Amino acid sequence: SSELTQDPAVSVALGQTVRITCQGDSLRSQSAGWYQQKPGQAPVAVMFTQNIRPSGIPDRFSASNSKDSASLTIAGAQAEDEADYYCNSRDSTGNQVVFGGGTKLTVL
Amino acid sequence: EVHLVQSGGAMEQPGGSLRLSCAASGFNFDGYSMHWVRQAPGKGLEWVAVISGKSESTHYADSVKGRFTISRDNSKNSVYLQMTSLTIDDSALYYCTREYDSGWPNIDYWGRGTLVTVSP
């Protein structure tokens, strides 16, 4: 399987825009999805692959892919967006799923 | 409403075995692939295995291949994870999850998780 790399921590001022990135060889051929996890809770999908936003997720969440990287952008970050964010994709073989190490987002 | 109710987590010694169960409701179970994802305490998410809706195919993470077996019983709307040759590194919260319509790796529903602790 391949790996996905994320910055361990990112911070953003309330109401500002933040980008969380994910890098890995598998992203050259596979799209990335994104999951939000708050302490003590199960993860929640905030973006599926192919930039499909799940029902109920605010449109301030958007995603993009480029070459070997993917990004999740939160426009106008809110206090409730403070959480860990994980990217995932299929690996290069298409037979396994890989998750990034996670990014802890702090909203200041 | 989709529900994934998990059971089977426990404390086990290294080298031992455990079977996790996940009972699903609220959707057409055999129409969906199911995944297990785990999370060690204080760590990130790790994908474990997937099984297709009618058990035609299964895939595993390298870290569990040959030791874990995913299976399902569509007559019981249940999916299982048989874990053998457990190591300390298998200690984690194991989530039963449902794959989104568009296919994997998209996961749209997660169970609450069941805790597996492997300790001497």
Q: What is the mean pLDDT of residues A95-103?
A: 96
* Token output for A4: 């996905």
Q: What is the mean pLDDT of residues B96-107?
A: 90
Cβ-Cβ contacts under 8 Å, A84 against chain B: 44
CA distance B50 to chain A (A): 9
Nearest one of A41, A32, A22, A23 to A80, comparing CA atoms: A41
- The count of C-alpha atoms lying within 13 angstroms of the C-alpha of A51, restricted to the half-sphere facing its C-beta, is 12
Say whether the peptide bond before residue B120 is cis (omega within 30 degrees of 0): no
Average pLDDT, chain B: 96
pLDDT at residue A1 is higher than 60: no
By the 10 Å C-beta count (0-12 exposed, 13-18 middle, 19+ buried), B15 is classed as exposed
Q: What is the mean pLDDT of residues B33-47?
A: 97
Going by the DSSP 8-state scheme, the letter that residue B66 receives in this structure is T
The confidence score (pLDDT) of residue B104 equals: 82
Q: Are A44 and A86 in contact (CB under 8 A)?
A: no
pLDDT at residue A14 is higher than 80: yes
Q: Check A49 against B44: CB less than 8 A apart.
A: no
Q: What is the mean pLDDT of residues B90-95?
A: 98
Q: Check B106 against A44: CB less than 8 A apart.
A: no
B22 touches chain A (CB under 8 A): no
* Token output for B34: 């199911």
Residues, chain B, total?
120
Judged by average pLDDT, the poorest of A32-36, A49-53, A102-106, B47-51 is: A49-53
Answer with the residue of higher pLDDT: B38 or B101. Answer: B38
A1 touches chain B (CB under 8 A): yes
